[in-house]
């Protein structure tokens, strides 16, 4: 079993839709949860960071962590074609700074 | 130049060639990383340098040889590679290697094809 599971997609939705991207994990010690966005032919860039459980909102983006279910989500409201990218989840625990990554979900927003 | 820059962006090499990937960060960070990205696979951490000292080597084959002459520059020397080494090689930097790890700043990557 992989430490972090993420559906590679592609996920194709029409412009304006609400998008839900998800990762599940097996290590209950994970406390730091991140979402990185990677455009084609670019490196990943940090989009959202959450510590422990709860929600965090930044504009059209909401990151949600459910530690009891070992499940994290990224919601994108009013999706735009410019949101088309691969979204990578990453997480770490308190004892090891190394990030454990999901495989990434390719998202396509159709105009 | 700003951020993290990688050269070359694309590299094609035979299995007997020797080549090097270069990374330079202009962010004043102390830690630098090499990652391997293959299609539909999680990022694989290869090497970590903190203040020029190698702190991690994740069981990477010896045909990959890193070099960090200072906190701003990182090289990955390649020799006698295999076709399965074809991938996108990403360099990243961060302020430190804290427990959180801090935000990673990535370069655009070097796309390597081994024939």
Chain B positions touching A97 (Cβ under 8 A) are 97-101
Chain A positions touching B4 (Cβ under 8 A) are 43
Q: Residue A62 pairs with which residues in a beta bridge?
A: A57, A75
Q: How far is CA B115 from CA B44, B54, B87, in A?
A: 22, 30, 12
Determine the residue among A97, A102, A105 to mutate to test chain B binding: the one whose Cβ has the most chain B Cβ atoms within 10 Å: A97
Contact A33, A50 (CB under 8 A): yes
Q: What is the mean pLDDT of residues A100-106?
A: 96
Confidence of residue A95 (pLDDT cuts 50, 70, 90): confident
Confidence of residue A66 (pLDDT cuts 50, 70, 90): very high
Q: Residue B16 pairs with which residues in a beta bridge?
A: none
pLDDT at B58: 77
Size of interface A-B (CB pairs under 8 A): 55
B40/A88 CB distance under 8 A: no
Check residues B103 and A95 and name the one with the higher pLDDT.
Answer: B103
Give pLDDT tens digits for B65-112: 999 999 899 999 999 999 999 999 999 999 876 555 578 999 999 999
Q: What is the mean pLDDT of chain A?
A: 94
Give pLDDT tens digits for B12-61: 998 888 999 999 999 999 999 999 999 999 999 999 998 878 877 778 99
Question: Residue A109: what are its φ and ψ, rounded to 5°?
Answer: -105, 115
Q: How many Å apart are CA B65 and CA B76, to the nearest integer?
A: 6
Report whether pLDDT(A97) > 70: no
pLDDT at B100: 54
A8/B42 CB distance under 8 A: no
- Which candidate, A105, A86, A102, A92, places its Cα nearest to that of A45? A86
Pairing mode of beta strands B18-25, B73-79: antiparallel
Determine the residue among B27, B42, B88, B109 to mutate to test chain A binding: the one whose Cβ has the most chain A Cβ atoms within 10 Å: B42
């Amino acid at each position: 079993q992989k430490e972090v599971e993420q559906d590679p997609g592609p996920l194709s939705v029409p412009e304006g839709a609400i998008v839900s991207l998800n990762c599940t994990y097996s290590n209950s010690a994970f406390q730091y949860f991140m979402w990185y966005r990677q455009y084609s032919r670019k490196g990943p860039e940090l989009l959202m960071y959450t510590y422990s459980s709860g929600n965090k909102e930044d504009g059209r983006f909401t990151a949600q962590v459910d530690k009891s279910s070992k499940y994290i989500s990224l919601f994108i409201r009013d999706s735009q074609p410019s949101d088309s990218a691969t979204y990578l989840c990453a997480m770490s625990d308190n004892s090891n700074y190394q990030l454990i990554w999901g495989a990434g979900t390719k998202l396509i927003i159709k105009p | 130049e700003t951020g993290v820059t990688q050269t070359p962006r694309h590299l094609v090499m035979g299995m007997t060639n020797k080549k090097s990937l270069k990374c330079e960060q202009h962010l004043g960070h102390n830690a630098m990383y090499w990652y391997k990205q293959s299609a539909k696979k999680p990022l694989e951490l290869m090497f970590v340098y903190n203040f020029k000292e190698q702190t991690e080597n994740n069981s990477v084959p010896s045909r990959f040889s890193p070099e960090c002459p200072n906190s701003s520059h990182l090289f990955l020397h390649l020799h006698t590679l295999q076709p399965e080494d074809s991938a996108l090689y990403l360099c990243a930097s961060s302020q430190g290697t804290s427990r959180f790890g801090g935000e990673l700043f990535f370069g655009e990557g070097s796309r390597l094809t081994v024939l």
